[in-house]
Structure 1
Amino acid sequence: MPTNKNAQLRYKILDRCFSNFKHKYTIDELVDEVNESLSDLTGKVISLRQIRDDIKYMRDRVYYNAPIKAYPFGSGRQCYYRYEDPDFSIFDNELSVDEVNNLRSTIDMLGKFRGTPANVWLEEVISNLEYRFNIKPNTESLIAFENNEQLKGLEYLSSIIDMTIHHQPVIIHYRSFKGKEQNAIIHPYYVKQYNNRWFVLGYNEKYHSLSIYALDRLLSLKKADITFIKNDNINFKTYFDHIIGVTLLDEQTPIETFVLRFNANRFPYVLSKPLHSSQEIVNIGDHTISIKVKPNNELRQLIFSYIPDIEVISPTWFREEIKQKIEENLKKYLTMQNDCIDK
């Protein structure tokens, strides 16, 4: 029997069925299992007779010597097929049943982003995984991710990722949050998502330092025909360990301990969803926690997202800063109230 591409695909599917000790596959179920994958991947189906021939071929001592045994199942003459040895596989370095299930879940999650302009590159990755491991994704809608498809700049994401991976310098046209436009040559080192936005960090030739750019503020980008300046100084595995978000204006900024008090209703939420990996309980009765981070704008935004359920206890300078911002904001509401009374 020739071991063509379709035959090898059938053997892989059968091998996984025989290795799965959590399910008892009858001969009809084996036919269905193989045809489900074959029809999706090749558009072809096979007969029950072909499955019986495949089992015979896999049992052949000359080829695989697979210990496939038929066990009585239910009433009548029905039986199920399984390897006698739970550790046996005709393929070396193949995935286990549990690993296949985990991979299927991963493909399901990645598939959420299929079809979006930002993730065309994912289509090829997922398709290759599906074909390589004969896995059909779940067609039910069971998982949802936060994903703002209307966010500007997503059309640049796949290009930025490719350029970062392949060490390709890039010329960007960028508009800052204040509306100032500029051109910059950067050598992309790292791409990160935070708060449903994408950022690229790279070496800026003009400032001779690391710069960060939000993709939703990009106006255009193109390849720069220059030699890539390699990153030899920054370890991005630990770069974000002591900050919230992505902004680190100066690596020499010291780490500080921020003590925060929450009201009784919000405190359990903060315990279940820590503000930072360094979070510790200072006084559970007083609903107080601490985090050890470097101050940045994202920290300030996080604090304000919890108002009025939060109070900054220390450091003093940060408590005063938050207090001043609250007072400035309160003036706007008081002014509006006075305007209404005057009228």
Structure 2
Amino acid sequence: MATNKHAQIRYQALDRCFRNSGRRYYIEDLIEACNQALFEQTGVVDGVKERQVRQDIRDMESIWGIVLCKPRDGKKTYYHYEDFRYSINNQLLNETEINQLKATISMLNRFKGMPQFRWMEEILARFESVFQLRETTVGIVGFEENPYLKGLNLFTDIFNAIVHKQTLRICYQRFGKESKAYVFHPYFLKQYNHRWFLFGRCDHLKEKKTVTTFALDRIEHIEPVHIPYVENKEIAFDEYFEDVIGVTVYDKEIEKIVLEIDNVLFPYVETKPLHGSQKIKRRDQTTTTIELSLIINYELENLLLGYLDKIRIIAPEYLRERMVSRVREAVQRNS
């Protein structure tokens, strides 16, 4: 299907002919109109033939869904729009674009009602109204979500604070401790394991940290404060989490983790890698050995804990001992 500059010139010429109610346009007239338009805009002379114009008409019917009347006048046929008020320039989107937009809106509608996505609802309503896309559909895609998670009501305000570089006072309660207020410069939001985490800079923590992490479900209250915002000039968050699983980034060296995996489990680990650094080191009939390059953190330990009946931790030794200790504690607790 032609989409180059000459094709667009021909489409516009044909569109003008089809909506002209004061004249009959036969195929010869359409060819002449296309050639005249091309000559005026590009200098090309007599470049369009009948076969090209007929293909252009089919393309316009396919792209814009134009409805043409083709009355007979003796042995000849002339062409015009069924509705002379119609123009391809009046249609904002073609059929393919409309179907793509419908699919996108249908997917995004899954998030309606969730506090962290309330900002999308007005945008979706405008799209549906402007492009007349509202229709009743049966859900065909399901996302993992927890609309009851504490702290989701703060998502939009925090998101806006990041966008507008607004310093916040955050009242935060760590598990098992008293609630405290912090002056906070918010930089980044990240979801992991169905929980949301906020990353930024704290003004008055005793330890000197470039990045401080707050879980949204532990934030009790936020409010804007008139304190100059300290911009993030040190951390590239699209790279910050590359060497970890989860959201906890320790100031430690990357280590090699070697795991021997039962071949019953390995297809799942192969199709859903534990981490981007995952590499296969060895295969045999019963097991596959892989290697990861990571900073070891609590999220990695929890992930491995769910696979321990099918995984043997070969290295590092201290990680294996720590996991064995956690399993023993779990057995004692549940005996």
**What's the TM-score, normalizing by structure 1?**
0.69
Note the 1:171-250 alignment, pairs <5 A.
171-207=169-205, 208=208, 209-250=210-251
Aligned mate of 2:108, from 96, 107, 110? 110
Distance 1:328 1:280, change over 3 A: same
**Cα gap change, 1:91/1:230 in structure 2, threshold over 3 Å: closer, same or farther?**
farther
* CA distance in 2: counterparts of 1:293 and 1:99, whole angstroms: 43
Equivalent positions of 1:1-343 (< 5 A) are: 21=62, 52-55=83-86, 58=87, 90=89, 98-131=96-129, 134-136=132-134, 139-207=137-205, 208=208, 209-250=210-251, 253-285=252-284, 286-333=287-334, 336=335
Please tell me whether the aligned partners of residues 65 and 95 of structure 2 are also in contact (alpha carbons under 8 angstroms).
no
Confirm or deny: 8 A CA contact 2:64 2:95 kept in the other structure.
no
Please list the CA deviations of residues 281-319 of structure 1 after superposition, one character each: whole Å capped at 9, or x if unmatched: 122322222221111111111111223222211112211
The structural deviation recorded for 1:101 is 3.7
SS in 1 for 2:237: coil
Give 2:140's aligned amino acid. Answer: L
Residue aligned with 2:85, SS: helix
* Aligned-partner SS, 2:62: coil
Q: Which runs of 5+ in 1 are unaligned?
A: 1-16, 28-49, 59-65, 67-89, 337-343
Paired with 1:299 and 1:22, the residues of 2 have a C-alpha distance of: 51
The structure-2 alpha-carbon separation of the partners of 1:298 and 1:26, relative to structure 1 and needing over 3 Å to count, comes to same
CA RMSD of aligned residues (A): 2.9
- Whole-Å separation in 2 of the counterparts to 1:111 and 1:189: 27
Q: Assess, with a 3 A threshold, how the Cα gap between structure 1 residues 19 and 108 changes in structure 2: closer, same or farther.
A: farther
Q: Is the 8 A contact 1:19 1:97 kept in 2?
A: no
- Return closer, same or farther for 1:99/1:322 CA change in 2, 3 Å cut-off: farther
Contact 2:250/2:295 (<8 A) preserved? no
Count matched residues.
262
CA 183–133 in structure 1, closer or farther in 2 if over 3 Å, else same: same
Larger-gyration structure (1/2): 2
Q: Quick check: 178-187 or 192-201, which moved more?
A: 178-187
State the shift of 1:141 in Å.
Answer: 1.1
Instruction: Give, in angstroms, the shift of residue 202 of structure 1.
Output: 0.6
- For residues 96 and 51 of structure 1, do their structure 2 counterparts lie closer, same or farther at Cα, with a shift above 3 Å needed? closer
Q: Distance in 1 between matches of 2:297 and 2:145?
A: 25
Answer yes or no: is the 8 Å Cα contact 1:260–1:311 preserved in 2: yes
CA distance in 1, matches of 2:67, 2:291: 58
Q: Any conservation in 1 of the 2:259–2:289 contact (CA below 8 Å)? A: yes
Take 2:175 and 2:67, find their aligned partners in 1: how far apart are those partners? 63
TM-score by length of 2: 0.70
Q: Which moved more, 1:257-266 or 1:297-306?
A: 257-266
* 3-state SS in 2 of match to 1:144: coil
The alpha-carbon deviation at position 99 of structure 1 amounts to 4.9
Contact 1:153 1:217 in 2 (8 A): yes
Post-superposition shift, 1:159? 0.9
Higher mean C-alpha deviation, range 111-120 or range 215-224: 111-120
Deviation for aligned residue 1:330: 2.4
Distance 2:295 2:97 in 1: 39
The verdict on how the C-alpha distance between 1:160 and 1:310 changes in structure 2, with shifts beyond 3 A counting, is same
Show CA shifts across 1:49-77 (max 9, x none). Answer: x971333xx2xxxxxxx6xxxxxxxxxxx
SS of residue matched to 1:143: coil
> How much does 1:100 deviate?
4.5
* 1:248 partner amino acid: V
SS where residue 232 of structure 1 aligns?
Answer: coil
Pick closer, same or farther for the CA change 1:279–1:149 going to 2, 3 Å: same
Q: Determine helix, strand or coil for the equivalent of 2:84.
A: helix
Residue aligned with 2:314, SS: strand
